[in-house]
């Protein structure tokens, strides 16, 4: 799947992943109204609203980008109906041949991580049958528990040709509270980067590893260091746009071939119509605003990489 991701990035010339993280207040009123008319102001109604919202965006951008990244928390907050909308979104993105990165940030002791890996990237056995629970292509993984918590994901990645992105340096303001602490003169994020490089060497695709890393756009200098520490890891870069990262900050995350990184934008794309720059599209044409925001982001990144 890392090979497919790299191929699609080359083909679209857009190292961009669209974060499908719908808050209900991003969903235009006409979609909310229709969903509530059908299902009531219920969890099912909310789930219908975010699913229709997502579908509009996917239909509008699927030819421009290689991948999408639904953040499962935004669905999980609506309980079971929300998770059904998550699964519908994953399945629909596959129909559109998009690579789906499940932003699930799971991680646990070995046997438990194995269950998450099976549920999100693999197939679970029931009697003599096998079923994929959610069937994303990639998942994000939290490494706080060490190798035990990551290895079961690697096993499934090798079996199913899927991939993971391990949290190394996250984009949020307080990420340094633990991740920047120095151990023998070396920050924790570098130590995690070295672990990603080691894990990754055990699961190589053609040019890059099945084991990638998450490094926030908001910390470009650390991105530069981590790029060198993990030469074979694809870096998933959140924090562009709404969180404050700019195109010029991103160059350090890429390697000299202009590959090796994929930049996520969520709110900046899916809620573009709420941004002054795209207000002319209006709420009815929210998906067109999202398409324009992708094109602008592509130009920004291509400009920075030149």
Q: Which residues are known to be catalytic?
A: 105
The token pair that represents 273 in the structure block? 């119509």
Which is closer to a second copy, CB of 14 or CB of 20? 20
Q: How far is 62 from 57, CA to CA, in rounded Å?
A: 8
Q: Is 165 helix (H, G, I), strand (E, B) or coil?
A: strand
H-helix segments, 110-246: 110-120, 147-160, 176-179, 188-201, 220-229
Look at the chain and count its residues. 306
Which is closer to a second copy, CB of 14 or CB of 31? 31
Which is closer to a second copy, CB of 209 or CB of 264? 264
Which is closer to a second copy, CB of 61 or CB of 214? 214
Binding segment (CB under 8 A) for a second copy, from list 1-9, 115-123, 203-211, 282-290: 115-123
DSSP β-ladder status, 186-187 and 182-183: antiparallel
Where in 37-66 is the site for a second copy (CB under 8 A)? 41-43, 45-46
304 binds a second copy (CB under 8 A): no
CB 40 to a second copy: min, Å: 8
Q: How far is 82 from 151, CA to CA, in rounded Å?
A: 29
Of positions 13, 59, 63, 76, contacts a second copy by CB under 8 A: 76
Of positions 13, 37, 144, 158, contacts a second copy by CB under 8 A: 144
Q: How far is 20 from 278, CA to CA, in rounded Å?
A: 18
Question: Site map for a second copy, 215-254, x if CB under 8 A?
Answer: -----------------------x----------------
Chain-centroid distance of CA 177 in Å reads 23
């Amino acid at each position: 799947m890392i090979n497919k991701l790299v191929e699609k990035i080359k083909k679209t010339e857009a190292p961009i992943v669209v974060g499908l993280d719908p808050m209900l207040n991003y969903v235009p009123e006409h979609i909310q109204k229709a969903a509530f008319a059908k299902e009531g102001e219920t969890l099912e109604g909310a789930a219908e609203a975010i699913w229709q919202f997502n579908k509009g965006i996917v239909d509008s951008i699927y030819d421009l980008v290689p991948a999408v990244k639904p953040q499962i928390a935004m669905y999980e907050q609506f309980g079971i109906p929300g998770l059904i909308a998550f699964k519908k979104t994953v399945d629909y993105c596959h129909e559109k041949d998009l690579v789906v990165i499940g932003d699930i940030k799971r991680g646990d002791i070995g046997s438990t991580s194995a269950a998450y890996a099976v549920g999100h990237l693999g197939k679970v056995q029931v009697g003599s049958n096998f079923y994929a629970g959610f069937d994303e292509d990639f998942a994000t993984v939290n490494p706080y528990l060490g190798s035990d918590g990551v290895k079961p994901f690697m096993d499934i990645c090798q079996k199913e040709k899927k991939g993971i992105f391990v949290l190394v340096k996250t984009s949020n303001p307080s990420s340094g509270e633990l991740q920047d602490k120095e151990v023998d003169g070396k920050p924790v994020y570098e130590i995690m980067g070295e672990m990603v490089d080691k894990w990754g060497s055990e699961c190589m695709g053609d040019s890059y590893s099945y084991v990638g890393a998450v490094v926030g756009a908001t910390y470009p200098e650390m991105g530069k260091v981590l790029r060198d520490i993990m030469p074979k890891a694809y870096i998933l870069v959140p924090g562009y746009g709404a969180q404050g990262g700019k195109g010029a900050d991103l160059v350090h995350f890429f390697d000299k071939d202009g590959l090796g990184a994929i930049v996520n934008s969520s709110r900046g794309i899916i809620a573009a119509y709420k941004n002054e720059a795209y207000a002319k599209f209006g709420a009815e044409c929210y998906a067109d605003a999202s398409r324009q925001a992708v094109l602008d982001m592509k130009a920004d990144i291509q400009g920075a990489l030149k």
